[in-house]
Every structure is written in C-alpha cells, then in structure tokens.
Amino acid sequence: MSAQGAIGWITLARPDKKNALDRKTADELAQALFALSESTVNVVAITAEGSDFCTGADLGALEKMLDAPRQDHLDDAKALGHVFHTIRRMEKPVVALVRGRAYGGGAGLATACDIVLAHEEARFAYPEVTVGFVP
C-alpha cells in the first residue's frame, strides 16, 4: 500500500501465485483498504504485479484446510467477504486496474470496486460454477 498525491495504491504482490487470494492476503487487503479510507487520498486503485490481476482462491491454501474445523472454513470465507464489504462501504471510489486474468475471487474483487479499467486482453471468469460452487 502506498499513497501518491490523491491516489492510494494497493498492489496484489503474489505474482508467483498469480495473485491468488489466501487468508493472509485477504486480511492485508482489508487492512490496506481501511487505512486508505482514513487517509487524505481521494481515490483508491487496486492493481497487481505480474501478468494476472488475480486468479481467485489460492487452491494450495484451500487444500491445506481440507481437514480444518468448519469454523476455520467459515472464517476464511468471511475474510474475503469482509474485503468486498469494506470496498462497498468506502466513501472514496475504488478502481480496479485489471490486466491478465481476473478469475473467481479475483473477478469478485474487481466487480466489488466502483470502476473497473480493464486492458483489452483482460479476461474475467467464474470457473467455480462448473464444479457447483457459488461465486
């Protein structure tokens, strides 16, 4: 997270994981959004390192949770929901700057923002519907 003049920047910085979302990333994202909502910036921009904006949930992190208690799964889901809710409650506009793939939770993150500016080759998808999950 950084601020440059009137713009607050949040950069998803897990390019080796295609900026996939895990619990730590969701918590850090919510904290950064809150901090920028309290700052003097006029707009918040969410961008990403690497070739993709965000490919959704970190499947490796989800696999590690297979045997976790039910409450851990609920808390994990609520963490990402908290990010989306924080964006929607912000008084400052939040802009997603999307290039590459925005899949699953990444598409959700982009569409939770007030404005999405997408590169002409950006791709949006909710692949989880093909296996019966609700986006």
What percentage of the chain's residues is helix, strand, coil (to nearest 5)?
40, 25, 35
CA–CA gap between residue 37 and residue 58 (Å, rounded):
27
CA–CA gap between residue 129 and residue 122 (Å, rounded):
20
Indicate the helix (H) or strand (E) that contains 6.
none
Contact 82, 33 (CB under 8 A): no
Q: Is 49 a catalytic residue?
A: no
CA–CA gap between residue 101 and residue 25 (Å, rounded):
18
Catalytic residue annotation: 128
